[in-house]
Amino acid sequence: MPSTPVRLALIGCGGMARIHLNAYGSLKQKGIQTFEITAVCDPALDRAEQFAALAAEWGDRPTVYADLEALLRDRPPDAVDVTTPHHLHHTTAIACLEAGAHVLIEKPLGVTIRAARRMIEAAQRTGRTLATAEQVRRWIGPRATRWALQEAGLIGAPRLFFAQNSGGDRHAHPDERRSPLPFTWRQDKLTGGGGFIFDGGVHYADVLLYFFGDVETVYAFVGDVNAWEWPLPDGGTRRISVEDTCVAHLTFADGVVGTWTWTGAAPGRGINYTVYHGSHGSVYSEGIYPTHPELQWWNGEVVPYEELIRRFLASLGAEERECLFPAALFPDPASLSGDHGVELEVYDFLEAVRTGRPPELDGFAGLRAQAVVTAFFESHISGQPVRVADVLAGRVDAYQREIDAAWGLR
């Protein structure tokens, strides 16, 4: 176990990187001195300089780089936190792993299954840690939901789930067919890999895997239902090449079945909830994720959120409680709200690097979640159900071929 702080570099200094940086800052403010941010890297130097200035508020000012190669050549860090655009994940991670650094990579793991597998192979080859940044399962709501569904068996044998997340933009008239938001790399299939269904969907896919285990088959529709034009900096517009709607049917190896709907092309009244049914009751939560679950039994009796959380926390032994909610970070887990998952995910990564233990979510965990969502697109292309195992193995890849070809992955 290293006695010196982990030397950490932040690769990418955009919006998600700011959330990661705030999490590292919170760790420092809580007295966690097991790491130092020694470098930040972004091709936009002004953005990297801003990050360095923020990091200097609770430590030494990190060295600023516009070029990853120069950073790795000058003084390879012990670990890196990668929050670049998706199409750069695999090249960035592989370069860092081969330079001897452990890697935490923002989800989705890779822009395609092939890209993600290249990263996993590099981690295995170099003997370094590859961790997937995934905060949603670490929130207290999903932790309590899994306990209710599996450990405590409060709803009996799990049977069904339904996730309905639909809404529409309220800032642009539908007849204008023009998004109020600017076009970015996230709206391009080649750089984003599949839009929000892919980018955000891996969160919920990981939650479902956490709750129910492996997904066997997926049958889905995906499409760009809005078909809007998106503004460009030069005043022009561009049609996005990713999808805004998904309706999917999932079958799990343990027999659970369910539907998952997400769309941004449903104006009017939006609906956002998740519900999990068993033989004796259900766990329900408003919102895209099960952040505020309540239990209802077959006879109508309800266990509200606060009571469910109390029972969940009371069920934890000292070791498990410390693992899920380290006392140094959260001495009172019952009071948690909002996104405390990023702080937990970066802490877990640092502890994995420092102690040599595996992270909670390694590269393969990220790949499994990514494969579920990728199966939505592959099912739509084929017009039939697909086996997630075939997507994982690369036997089904029609949607991804264009992306793989663009980045030399074929």
Q: What is the DSSP string of 119-176?
A: HHHHHHHHT--EEEE--GGGSHHHHHHHIIIIIS-TTSSEEEEEEEEE-B-SSS-GGG
Q: Cβ atoms within 10 A of the Cβ of 296, count?
A: 17
Say how many residues make up the chain.
Answer: 410
Alpha-carbon distance 248 to 117, whole Å? 25
Mean pLDDT of the chain: 95
Identify the sign of the CA torsion 92, 98, 99, 103.
Answer: positive
Sequence-ordered list of residues with C-beta below 8 angstroms from that of 226, at least 6 positions apart, any chain: 177, 179, 244, 264, 265
109 pLDDT more than 70: yes
Alpha-carbon distance 283 to 154, whole Å? 9
Identify the three-state secondary structure at position 81: strand
Share of the chain above pLDDT 70, in %: 99
Q: How confident is the model at residue 198 (pLDDT cuts 50, 70, 90)?
A: very high
Say what the pLDDT of residue 77 is.
97
Mean pLDDT of 103-112: 97
Diameter of the chain measured on Cα atoms: 66
2 pLDDT more than 80: no
Say what the pLDDT of residue 82 is.
98
Say what the pLDDT of residue 246 is.
97
Q: How confident is the model at residue 33 (pLDDT cuts 50, 70, 90)?
A: very high
Say what the pLDDT of residue 170 is.
86
Strands 130-133 and 102-106, sheet pairing: parallel
Say what the pLDDT of residue 158 is.
97
pTM of the model: 0.95
Residue ranges and CATH numbers for the domains of the chain are 6-135 (3.40.50.720), 139-337 (3.30.360.10)
Mean pLDDT of 78-97: 98
Alpha-carbon distance 353 to 360, whole Å? 12
Mean pLDDT of 306-330: 96
Strands 63-65 and 35-41, sheet pairing: parallel
- Beta-sheet strand order (sheet of 281-286): 302-303, 294-297, 281-286, 271-278, 158-166, 257-263, 245-252, 215-223, 386-387
As beta bridge partners, residue 65 has 41
Q: How confident is the model at residue 172 (pLDDT cuts 50, 70, 90)?
A: confident
Sequence-ordered list of residues with C-beta below 8 angstroms from that of 395, at least 6 positions apart, any chain: none
| Closest among 85, 120, 86 to 103, alpha carbons compared | 120
| Closest among 109, 3, 91, 42 to 364, alpha carbons compared | 109
As beta bridge partners, residue 245 has 223, 263
Q: Give the model confidence (pLDDT) of 254-276 as tens digits.
A: 999 999 999 999 999 999 999 99
